[in-house]
Amino acid sequence: MTRQNLLLALFVVVVLAVGGYFVAIHTAHDSMSVEAVEVKIGGSFTLVDANGKAVTDADFRGRFMLVYFGYTFCPDLCPTSLQSMAQAITLLGDKGAKVVPVFITIDPERDTPEHMKSYVAAFGPSMVGLSGTKEQTAAAASAYRVYFARVEGENGTPYLMDHSSIIYLMGPNGKFVTHFGHGVTPEAMAEKIRTYL
């Protein structure tokens, strides 16, 4: 083998080695990035039910939860979403007993336990309404990655709450299972939930 061929072979080996190194580093970086951006949804919370009793996420262990954050003065998104949740659970038949629909207010200033009690009653006997202090509300919303902000009314009209509109399905262990965007039909929601029961 000539010196030129030897140098060429050595060059090819070095290129392949360096290329392999960068491929390995790139692959490792990609897998690390995926883990790094994985968002944790759900977690511990302490709130108050419609009877003024303290409730935590642990009280729902052993059952699925359909969780929605909104407020009772919401003109459209919230009642539509809560109605879809209630109808989906009805469509599940006997299996619906394994799922608890939970409505958590982002407007504790107006949504007192007493007010929540009368509001959630319109969506069936299984709907659970939870409120709390501003700090408790913020902590629960943060755990579920829920956006909300107060929007002041104009010309003396009441304020509104801007908020994300997502229904979360949490497993019996309290871990996130899946979610439903606004506008999902009760039939589609029930069909998806049924695959996890």
Statement to judge: residues 17 and 85 lie in one domain: no
Whole-number average pLDDT of the chain:
85
Statement to judge: residues 32 and 51 lie in one domain: no
Statement to judge: residues 179 and 87 lie in one domain: yes
Statement to judge: residues 184 and 152 lie in one domain: yes
Give how many domains the chain has, as a whole number.
2
Statement to judge: residues 154 and 189 lie in one domain: yes
Mean pLDDT of 84-111: 97
Statement to judge: residues 17 and 63 lie in one domain: no
pLDDT confidence of residue 2: 52
pLDDT confidence of residue 119: 96
Statement to judge: residues 11 and 107 lie in one domain: no
Label the pairing between strands 99-105 and 128-130. parallel
Given a cut of 80, is residue 176 above it in pLDDT?
A: yes
SS3 assignment, position 162: strand
User: Measuring CA to CA, which residue among 113, 157, 166, 165 is closest to residue 136?
Assistant: 113
Q: Which two tokens stand for residue 146?
A: 């829920």
The domain of 27 spans 1-38
* Cβ contacts of 193 within 8 Å, gap of 6 or more: 64, 66, 88, 92, 99, 169
Q: In which band, very low, low, confident or very high, does the pLDDT at 21 lie, cut at 50, 70 and 90?
A: very low
Its pTM stands at: 0.79
Statement to judge: residues 7 and 96 lie in one domain: no
Statement to judge: residues 16 and 61 lie in one domain: no
Statement to judge: residues 33 and 114 lie in one domain: no
